[in-house]
Amino acid sequence: QKEVEQNSGPLSVPEGAIASLNCTYSDRVSQSFFWYRQYSGKSPELIMSIYSNGDKEDGRFTAQLNKASQYVSLLIRDSQPSDSATYLCAVKEYSGGGADGLTFGKGTHLIIQP
């Protein structure tokens, strides 16, 4: 049974600080990793994807992947109140055909305090 674990929070961060969100996964053959942001009452929207070990930066967001430790994280720099949302970590096992769905963690509720 594939599992994706996240701290549910809430994680409270002052405005302008760095928010650090963490995720661990159980399936060693997982190959693709995603962070989604979900505002209350809305559907998930893709923030970042990462496929290889190391860091990937996109604007204020940095995703970090360590496959040996089965760990993926998301850093949000210069946090803004609009970043307040639930952040979902998702993983996909490599199947070649791309036919599998994603396995999601339960999400971390992030609150940016003005």
What residues line the site for another protein (CB under 8 A)? 31-32, 34, 42-46, 49, 51, 88, 90, 92, 98-107
Cβ closer to another protein: 58 or 78?
A: 58
**How far apart are CB 28 and another protein at their closest, in Å?**
17
**How far apart are CB 57 and another protein at their closest, in Å?**
15
Cβ closer to another protein: 50 or 76?
A: 50
Of the chain, the end-to-end C-alpha distance in Å amounts to 40
DSSP of 12-57, one letter per residue? EEETTS-EEEEEEES-TTEEEEEEEEE-TTS--EEEEEE-SSEEEE
